[in-house]
Amino acid sequence: MKLTDEFLSKQQLPFTAYELECVNTNDRLTDIRVKLIIIARYGILPGCSSPSISAKDSNGRTFHGSAANYFPTEADAVEDALAQLHKAAAENTIAIHELQRAGRDVEAVIRKLKEELL
């Protein structure tokens, strides 16, 4: 479950929540780290039309964002991370099979060209 505006409106601030730090290699998800954040503010900033949060991440960086991008518990964050990693693993397996098939196709063309030249 991700944070919701309804949930956050009932919390006492500062509030501990969690974010996911995704690591991509060659445009593919390879790792996700669960990181703690401290939400210091929740509400609508002047000039804005929807609620947002102000928070500090585990590196001390202060930022603004949408509550929907974060998790109320570490367990919720881990569950989402695992689901994303399982999906990425399945997509990577499909990509591997497609590349293996393409490799076999190229090898067949090479064999055919060699036969024609001999």
pLDDT of residue 114: 87
Report which secondary-structure segment, H or E, holds 106: helix 74-117
Sketch the domain layout of the chain as residue ranges.
Answer: 5-117
Q: In the chain, which stretches have pLDDT less than 50?
A: none
Verdict on whether the full-model pTM lies above 0.85 = no
Q: Is 19 helix (H, G, I), strand (E, B) or coil?
A: strand
The 10s digit of each residue's pLDDT in 68-96 is 999 999 999 999 999 999 999 999 888 88
